[in-house]
Amino acid sequence: MKKHLLLLILALAMGQLTAQVRNGTYRALTATNSARVAALGGMPLPMHDGDLQTVTFNPSAITDEMSGHATLSYVGDFHTHIHFGTVQYARSFEKFGSFAATLQYHNYGTFDYASEGGVTDGSAFNVSDYAMTIGWGRQLTDKWSIGANLKYAGLQYESYQAGALAVDVAGGYITDSKWALSLTARNIGMQLFSDFDAERFLLPFSLDFTASKQLEHLPFTFVFGYNDIQRWNKLYDEYLPDDNGSLVIDEEEQKPNAFRNVVKNLACHFVIGGELNIGKNLVLRAAYNYGRHYDMDVPDRRSLTGFSAGFGVKVKMFEIDYALSRNNIVGSPHFLTIRVDLNKF
């Protein structure tokens, strides 16, 4: 019965594939807001260790161990004046399971009003996104777990607004050899309303598989993920500037090469990372996301785009996580998350 329930959840998710196979507008739903998730490549982590900051992407990680826990996350120096903030709280109920509430707010800064000729009058407007999430999770057995998120996402761009309703569904499984596996369908839903004079916006649906394994003779946990299962082709035409500064297609890069395209496409789906525990109070993290590197790198210029790293430290009743993610050649946002068990107070 429990296995059938998981299959039903995944079937419902698969039913959305034909309608939402391309990226959507509400990209704030895919933004990484917590330090641990950012340090490990921005994927739905399959860990079930009571860390509340993992449940925004993977609701099957919600457990009663999180009851009474709270987190506060801040992302600063993202790109100039862009700042993200997230607050989370979890509570368990014996008959209904465990719940986690998340509030995310993205502030993109202040913009000056200007005429078509570029003349400003001193007035300005704000641009922001926000999302409110209620997550539920239940441990079915010592191996199986399920979870779901119900989310409302909103856009506030000057005087224009839009709103959408979405759900995430996820299932987790722990093998006899202690591999933790997770399959997550994120952002299944639709737009409710919009003031924008445009076609109906789609949500950024994705189907992701992740796995982790703690090594037996080393305090190291290996993590990898395969994202966007529903969309194989993640490549695009590669453009290079000519002598006049105009963009032209690199014909050499566009010559048909089936093997190269398969390898590059496959690499764009994978994220690889790991955690190394040093004693009881310190953990080091790092990951590499080749898909991000491919999307944001600049030809003929070496960079660390796609790499992320961070650490976690325990200070009395608080757990502090920090991460630095190299998203492109000009920006490396800083992620800071503070976790606390309010039951200890």
pLDDT of 77 higher than 80: no
Alpha-carbon Rg for the chain in angstroms: 21
pLDDT band (50, 70, 90) for residue 235: confident
pLDDT score, position 197: 72
- Longest distance between any two alpha carbons in the chain, whole Å: 69
Could you tell me whether strands 334-341 and 220-226 are parallel, antiparallel, or unpaired per DSSP bridges?
unpaired
50: region left, alpha or beta (phi > 0 left; psi from -120 to 50 alpha): left
Mean pLDDT over residues 39-57, rounded?
93
Distance separating alpha carbons of residues 197 and 210, to the nearest angstrom? 38
pLDDT > 90: what percent of the chain? Answer: 52
Greatest mean pLDDT range, 122-131, 199-208, 222-231: 222-231
Region 197-206: mean pLDDT is 80
CA distances from 228 to 4, 183, 210, 265 (A): 24, 11, 11, 11
Q: Residue 272 has what pLDDT?
A: 96
Q: Which of 6-10, 82-86, 198-202 shows the lowest mean pLDDT across its residues?
A: 6-10
More confident residue, 21 or 114: 114
pLDDT tens digits, residue range 236-254?
A: 765 555 555 555 555 555 5
For the residues 59-69, what does the mean pLDDT come to? 94
User: Taking a C-beta distance cutoff of 8 angstroms, is the pair 76, 339 a contact?
Assistant: no
Please give the helix or strand (H or E) that residue 7 lies within, else none. helix 2-14
pLDDT band at residue 304 using 50, 70 and 90 as cut-offs? confident
Domain that holds residue 137: 2-344
Task: List Cβ neighbours of 88 (8 Å cut-off, separation of 6 or more).
Answer: 52, 53, 55, 56, 70, 71, 72, 73, 100, 101, 102, 103
Question: What are the strands, taking DSSP E only, across the chain?
Answer: 69-76, 83-93, 97-114, 120-139, 144-157, 160-174, 179-194, 206-214, 220-226, 239-241, 247-249, 270-278, 282-289, 307-315, 318-325, 334-341
pLDDT at 105: 93
Distance CA 150, CA 129 (A): 17
pLDDT of residue 342: 93
Range with the poorest average pLDDT among 13-17, 18-22, 225-229:
18-22
How far does CA 85 lie from the centroid of its chain? Answer: 14
- Partners of 189 in the β-ladder: 166
CATH number at residue 285: 2.40.160.40
What's the confidence (pLDDT) of residue 225? 96
Residue labelled with tokens 């826990």: 69
pLDDT bucket at 298, cuts 50 / 70 / 90: confident
What is the pLDDT, as a whole number, of residue 18? 35
CB 163 within 8 A of CB 191: yes
Measured from the Cβ of residue 172, the count of other Cβ atoms closer than 10 Å reads 27
Q: Residue 100's CB: how many other CB atoms inside 10 A? A: 29
What would the pLDDT profile of 131-187 be if each residue is shown by its tens digit? 999 999 998 999 999 999 999 999 988 888 999 999 999 999 999 999 999 999 999
10 SS3 class: helix
Q: What is the mean pLDDT of the chain?
A: 85
For residues 148 and 114, the model is more confident at 148
* Cα–Cα distance measured from residue 203 to residue 165, given in angstroms and rounded to the nearest whole number: 9
Enumerate the β-bridge partners of residue 208. 184
Count of structural domains within the chain: 1
> How confident is the model at residue 22, as a pLDDT?
42
Residue 187 burial by Cβ neighbours in a 10 Å radius (0-12, 13-18, 19+): buried
